[in-house]
Structure 1
C-alpha cells in the first residue's frame, strides 16, 4: 500500500499552490499521500486508480468535503507519485496572489557553487549520439535534458522563489508543491497537458522554441524565424500526430489547428497548437486520459518507448518530477494538469533547475545547448540570478 494518512502533528502547515487562468487552488496541510506509481494509470481497475479512489474515500470519511487530489507525477511513471489530498483547500482568483507577489522583495541568495549535469561538452556529445541513433533506427525525436545544481550559502525559501516566479511570470501555470525527499517543487509551466470539465477536454502542446530577444526588432525576427522553421515545424508535427492518435479514439469530436501558432513567455517563443475535444464518455477521469497522453513527444520523443529507452541510456541523472505532470483533479474526474517544465526543486540550501531540448535529425549540438540555457533563464531569474553566466 502506497497511500497513507498523516497525523496533524506529522507535517508542517506549508501552503501549496497550483494556479492557472482556468482555476487556482491554495492548499495547506497534507492529509493523505498517494505514492503509488502511475504506470497503470490508464486503467480504472489498476493499482494506481484504486489507490486514488481509496484516498478520496478516506478523506471524505475523515470529514473533508469535496476533496481534491493535487501534486505531481514523475516523467517515469514507474517511479513513486507525488500526490496528496490537502487538509484545507480553497479555489480562488489568482490575480490576488499575483498582485501580492509583485509587492514582495525579489528572491536573492549567495551562490556557493553550481554545476550542470551533464556539462556543456557532455550534453553536446549526447545530442550528437541522439542524432546518430536517428540514422540507425525508428527514433525521429528525442528530448534531452540537463539539471543545474546550485548550492547557496543560506537556506532558500521556496515561498520566496514562488513569489518571484509569480511576479515575473503572471501567465501560464504556477505551482509550489511538496516532493518527498526533494523539498518543494516550484515553477511556472507554459504547457497544458490536459484540462477536463465534464465532456470537454483541452490540451495545448508546445514543441519548437526560440529565445526571446531584448530588442523589439530582433525579438520579432526571432519569432518570425521560428514560425518559418521547417525543423521546428517537423518537431511540432511529431507531437501533434501522437496526441491525435491518443485522443481520437476517446473523442466524439476533436479540433486540431492546421498549423501551430506562436506562444510567448518572458524567456521563450514556442510553437503551440490548442487542441479541443468532446469526450465520447464524459465519465472518463482526467487523470486516466492524462496518463494516456504522458509522456508526449514534446518532453520524451517519438516513438515514445524507443526514445524513452534512448534517454535512459544517454541522460546521466534521474529526471524525477521534471517533465512529468503537475496539477489537480476532483473525485468527479475533472481537473487540470500541466507539463512540469520551467521548474526547480528547492531543498534547504540546494536548488536543482531543469531544462530540456527536443532533438531531431536537423538539430545541432550548439543550438540545443543554447536552447537549454535560454529555458533555464526563467528559474534563474526567480532565484535572483541574471542568467547562466551568474552561476558558472
Structure 2
C-alpha cells in the first residue's frame, strides 16, 4: 500500500498507509478527530496555521521497523537558483532597521534554493536519505504528501527536523525549542570553540530567550504544572550546533489535543520572530509568502496524543519529482551581522543538499 506518511526518529519509525480522508485546513482535521470520523491525522500545515494544510487520515498508522538507509546514486543536478548572498545580507540590514524602529524585537529571514534534477526522486527513497542515525537524538525525518493543499497534488514535503514543536502523551506536554546557531567544523578544536562561543553569545542567548518565553506564555494558561530548565542546553546536528531548552507541562484539560497545541504554538519565534504578528508582516514584506516551510509536520491520534516538529531542514518535491525547493533561515536580533547570517544559512542548507547528493 502506498505510504501516506513516514516518520523516523533515532529510536522509532511510524508509517501511515492508504487514506480515508483529506483536509486542507487544520480546523477540518480537528473536526474529523473530534467527531470520530478520523482515527488519526498525519501530514503538515503551513507557516500560517489558519491557512493551507495537507492533512490526511491514513487507513492504517502505527510503529514499524526502522527504514534502511537508501543506497545508490541520486539523480544528477541540472540547475539551481539560490537567493544571492548579497540580497540576503541586504534583507538582514532591512530587518535590523525595523528592529531599530521598534517594529519587532526579532524576525527570522530565510533564503530559498530551487533545484532541478535530470530524473525523478522516489519520495520514499528520498525519505530514507534523511533517516537519522542513533546519535541524532532530537531529529525526526518525515515524508508527507501535500495532495490536500490547493495546487499541490503530487507534491511531497520531505526532510529531517531537529526541532520538536510539541509532543502530547496523555496530559504530559513536551516542547524542545531550538534557537541560536553555530556551524559545525570537521576540526575538533574548532568545533569546541564554536560551542564555547555559542554558550557565551549574548546575541544567541537573547534570540533563544524570545522563543522560550513565547512558548511558556502560550502553555501556561493550559497547564497545571510547567517546568523549564534554567539555562539552554547545547544540541547538535551534523551541520550545526544549537541552543535548546526542554519544556515540560501537564495539561489541566485533557481534551486539548496535540494538533490543537501545534496550531496554537506555531509559528514560534524560532522561525518567525516576536511580536508574532509584526514579525509575520515583516517577513511577508522582505521575503515574500511562506507556504509549508517553517510550519509543522507530524501526527495526532484519536486519543489526542501525537508529535509535531517544526518543518525546517526540509524540501518540497514537485509533482514531477524532479524539482526541489528548499530553505534555510536565521533569527535577526540587535547585534546580528549580515555576513554571519548568510554563513548560517549556508551551514543549515547542508542537511538537505547532502541528502540530495549536492555539494
Give the alignment's TM-score, normalised by structure 1.
0.85
1:162–1:186 contact (8 Å) kept in structure 2 = yes
Determine which of 296, 319, 322 is the counterpart of 1:349. 322
Task: Note the 1:92-241 alignment, pairs <5 A.
Answer: 92-93=64-65, 96-97=66-67, 100-101=68-69, 104-116=70-82, 118-166=83-131, 171=136, 172-180=139-147, 181=152, 183-241=155-213
Q: CA deviation at 1:106?
A: 4.6
SS at match of 2:235: strand
Q: CA deviation at 1:157?
A: 2.2
Equivalent residue for 1:34? 23
Task: Note the 1:9-88 alignment, pairs <5 A.
Answer: 13-14=2-3, 16-20=5-9, 23-36=12-25, 38=26, 49-54=30-35, 56-57=36-37, 59=38, 67-88=39-60
Equivalent residue for 2:214? 242
SS at match of 1:373: helix
Equivalent residue for 1:9? none
Give the alignment's TM-score, normalised by structure 2.
0.92
Distance change (3 Å), C-alpha of 1:204 and 1:91:
same
1:111–1:152 contact (8 Å) kept in structure 2 = yes
Between Structure 1 and Structure 2, whose CA radius of gyration is higher?
1
Q: CA deviation at 1:188?
A: 0.6
Asked if residue 380 in structure 1 is aligned to residue 353 in structure 2, the reply is yes
More deviation in 153-162 or 368-377? 153-162
Paired residues in the alignment total 350
Give the distance between the partners of 1:338 and 1:276, measured in 2 at CA. 16
Equivalent residue for 1:5? none
Q: CA deviation at 1:120?
A: 1.8
Q: Deviations over 1:2-51 (max 9, x none)?
A: xxxxxxxxxx8246302235753112222210112x3xx5xxxxx66324
Give the distance between the partners of 2:302 and 2:331, measured in 1 at CA. 35
Determine which of 242, 259, 271 is the counterpart of 2:231. 259
Distance change (3 Å), C-alpha of 1:306 and 1:352:
same
Q: Deviations over 1:264-316 (max 9, x none)?
A: 11111000000111111222212112221111100100110110010011113
Q: Which runs of 5+ in 1 are unaligned?
A: 1-11, 42-46, 60-66, 387-392
Distance change (3 Å), C-alpha of 1:296 and 1:221:
same
Task: Note the 1:274-293 alignment, pairs <5 A.
Answer: 274-293=246-265
Cα RMSD between the aligned structures?
1.8
Equivalent residue for 1:4? none
Distance change (3 Å), C-alpha of 1:167 and 1:192:
closer
Q: Deviations over 1:189-233 (max 9, x none)?
A: 000000011111100000000110001111111111111111000
Give the distance between the partners of 2:89 and 2:72, measured in 1 at CA. 33
SS at match of 1:248: helix
1:74–1:80 contact (8 Å) kept in structure 2 = yes
Equivalent residue for 1:3? none
2:298–2:308 contact (8 Å) kept in structure 1 = yes
Equivalent residue for 2:285? 313
Give the distance between the partners of 2:110 and 2:61, measured in 1 at CA. 34
Q: Which runs of 4+ in 1 moved over 6 A?
A: none
1:140–1:360 contact (8 Å) kept in structure 2 = yes
Q: Which runs of 5+ in 2 are unaligned?
A: none
